[in-house]
Structure 1
Amino acid sequence: MKIAIIGFGNMGQTYASSFVSSGFIKSDDIFVLTRDLSKVSNRYTIPDANFFTECSASFLSVDIVIVAVKPQDFNKLCLQIKDFITENQLILSVMAGVSIENISKKLQVKKIIRSMPNIPTQIGQGMTVFTASQEVDRKDLFIIQNLINTTGKSLFLENEEMINSSTAISGSGPAYVYYFMNAIIDSAINLGFTESEAEFIVQQTFLGSTQLQNRSNLSNLEWIEKVASKGGTTEAALSIFHSYDLKSKINEGIIQANARAKELGKLIDK
């Protein structure tokens, strides 16, 4: 199986690294199209001859084409590659907001996977939500899911509209986590910890908490009850969160992120 990766930014490099390190795809069978070879600092044992700056029939003599360019660059890219794409190839898109219909129309292909990965894919701990056009069969889905899972975990959804929703949840989610971590770090510094001490404490607290939750059958609410003893310090903090209706505010923020994802999708599809 041969794979072409179009775009060698963070996501393109993540796939190249994950495919090679997992042994799922041989480095000789990975081909890369990038605008500037001088900016390619790590080739992940992919042969130099497999790197291209212009599309050609030899570059796209592959089974799977991964489109990992910025959404706003897609229209220009189509002009370069559409004459070399064949109807038997499977297209995997990681472009936010670009619909299956738009990809199909501009590249004249039918077998399309649309996905939304998040940034922890860079360390093999990512979350990718994906969907597929009706022409993609179970065998193709199985292959794609195995590829995606080299970067973490994945979830297939039949409803393409949910890709926008996953953008607001898992795609943007790491930033929500970092935002809350940073707020706690600032609070720790205000209580007298040094910046390095605060970062160390908070990072380990988040890491330990998520691992504990993952290894148990208890819900988040049940874990909150275990930590928050009646009349204790945790309950005092939670009462402030509740008084400001923090849960509702988080929900409002995610709804806004979802709405923006839909807006961007409409702009890109024009």
Structure 2
Amino acid sequence: MTTAQTRIGFIGGGNMAYAIAGGLLQAGHSAACVHISDPSDAQLQRFETLNPGIVTGGDNAATLAAAEVLVLAVKPQLIEDVLRPLRDAERPDGQLAISIAAGMTLDSLLNLLEPTRSIVRVMPNQPALVGAGMSVLAATPETTGEQRDLAQYVAAATGRAEWIDDEGLMDAVTAVSGSGPAYFYLLMELMEAVARDMGLSPKLAAALVRQTAFGAGRVAVESDLGLVELRESVTSRGGTTAAALAAFEQEGIRDIVDRALRAARGRSIELGALMSAGNDD
């Protein structure tokens, strides 16, 4: 059996599950090997429209029993209610479970998914919805090399996927890539507002900011140059870019970014502790 025939079951049919399933199908995965379980008929209809061959239904136990790879795509606050009734449900031997529930630690997942021991925690981000996501993965020691490859295959369906050996770094990952898109949106929002204030039409302001952000991101990803070199390549001594960057520095942008990311990481740690305490009750 090839990877494209691996039975992948999703519990939860929200936007992220839809993006992953769509990415898998685009990569050539068999639609008949994709199972979706969700209580909402409207959500299931989206998958049926995506590809009529996808197996859909509202029975989580049936999806669990069918899946060689189980993807938990439910909200973190719902995951315990979803999984507790499935503790004694039938599942394939050697099943791999992948969780994209934010803040759910591997220890919490081991407790909820017993007897499954091969578990991968994934932190995706919003650009996964357009196939440009950044996902970071961490696995339990029981997860085999083949299972890690399967998890990589699933996560990479929506963009780039990287591994960490220390799950404790997931809070920093959350602060950088999980929350990161919002930081860029904020800067773009502020740039658009100033552009309009300087006389540009809303349509032109939006086009200038969004295309510039898109292009700069693409250059950063594809170039062999570092970010400092790229910044300097756009900056002429005494020019307009230099004036703007000097204003950023005068306002303490480096300290602002440092405090913002550390605040996000701190909140991620707090939320993880709260969720772990709740699952231990």
TM-score (norm 2): 0.91
Distance in 2, Cα, partners of 1:55 & 1:204: 42
Distance in 1, Cα, partners of 2:52 & 2:149: 24
TM-score (norm 1): 0.94
Give the superposed CA RMSD.
Answer: 1.5
Runs of 4+ that moved beyond 4 A: none
Kept after mapping to 2: 8 A contact 1:55/1:80: no
Kept after mapping to 2: 8 A contact 1:5/1:31: yes
User: Higher helix fraction: Structure 1 or Structure 2?
Assistant: 2
Q: Secondary structure at the match of 1:60?
A: helix
Cα offset for 1:58? Answer: 6.4
Amino acid at match of 2:15: N
Kept after mapping to 2: 8 A contact 1:128/1:155: yes
Q: C-alpha offsets along residues 30-79 of structure 1, whole Å, 9 cap, x if unaligned?
A: 1111011134342221447x222123346522211000100000110112
Match of 1:51 in 2: 56
Q: C-alpha offsets along residues 183-238 of structure 1, whole Å, 9 cap, x if unaligned?
A: 11111111100110000011111122222233322211112222221111111111
- In the TM superposition, 1:1-270 aligns within 5 A as 1-23=6-28, 25-43=29-47, 44-47=50-53, 50-57=55-62, 60-84=65-89, 86=91, 88-108=94-114, 109-270=116-277
Q: 1:85 to 1:195 in 2, by over 3 A?
A: farther
Kept after mapping to 2: 8 A contact 1:185/1:202: yes
Amino acid at match of 1:264: L
Kept after mapping to 1: 8 A contact 2:9/2:63: no
Amino acid at match of 1:260: R
Kept after mapping to 2: 8 A contact 1:7/1:32: yes
Distance in 2, Cα, partners of 1:32 & 1:225: 48
Gaps of 5+ in 2: 1-5
Match of 2:3 in 1: none
Identity rate of aligned residues, in percent? 28
| Alignment size in residue pairs | 268
Q: Secondary structure at the match of 2:60?
A: coil
Amino acid at match of 2:113: L
Amino acid at match of 1:74: I
Cα offset for 1:158? Answer: 0.5
Cα offset for 1:254? Answer: 0.6
Q: C-alpha offsets along residues 10-48 of structure 1, whole Å, 9 cap, x if unaligned?
A: 11111111111211x211111111011134342221447
Distance in 2, Cα, partners of 1:35 & 1:80: 15
